[in-house]
Amino acid sequence: MFKKITLGALALSLGLSLAACGSSDVSTGGSGNSTEKNEETTEKKEAKKDDGSKRIDASNQSVDALGMKVNLGEIKIAEDKISVGMNIENTTDKALSFYPDQGKLVIGDMQLDANMFMTSGQIGGDVQGGVKQEGVIEFLAPEGKKIDVNAVKEIKLLFGDVITEDLMQNKAVEFIVSVE
């Protein structure tokens, strides 16, 4: 009996912890952001101005890969992670596979891996034709390392390939974002 209660409490605690990890104050640049959400985000930005992070509006960055439109939103650089807001749309009538939450990010000589468990929103997977998705992907600094927020001049994002349903075509999705 004690083991069941302890395991149940552990599972509940872990579930709540993981759910809390996915929340983000980074804009995805998607059409799902209402005015109310944007006002809320502005208030959060004002409250977090002195957290040492830097924000970049990358909403002018867009790629079309085999009919999958991939658009960046806001990018937030902090000492321990880089958060990337994005939205996607499958403009075809067939499913396309895309897993940006398993991507990589490069700054200088440091590579950061996406943490799919900290991703917020719904972004990627087997995306059916006509479907739009948006989310924020968290790229964590390697253990024991910190990101020098002010030294970051360029961010290279490697989101992996968009793959057709029949597995016959693939196209890499990559971005290079200048940081000013």
The answer, as to whether pTM is greater than 0.85, is no
DSSP string covering 94-133: S-EEE-GGG-EEEETTEEEEE-TTT-EEE--EEEPTT-EE
Largest CA distance in the chain: 58
Count CB-CB contacts under 10 A for residue 20: 9
pLDDT at 40: 47
Residues 89-130 pLDDT 10s: 999 999 999 999 999 999 999 999 999 999 999 999 999 999
Percent of the chain past pLDDT 90, that is, above it, reads 73
Split at pLDDT 50, 70, 90, the class of 8 is very low
Split at pLDDT 50, 70, 90, the class of 13 is very low
Split at pLDDT 50, 70, 90, the class of 25 is confident
Q: What is the DSSP letter of 143?
A: T
Beta-carbon contacts of 150 under 8 Å, excluding residues fewer than 6 positions away, are: 54
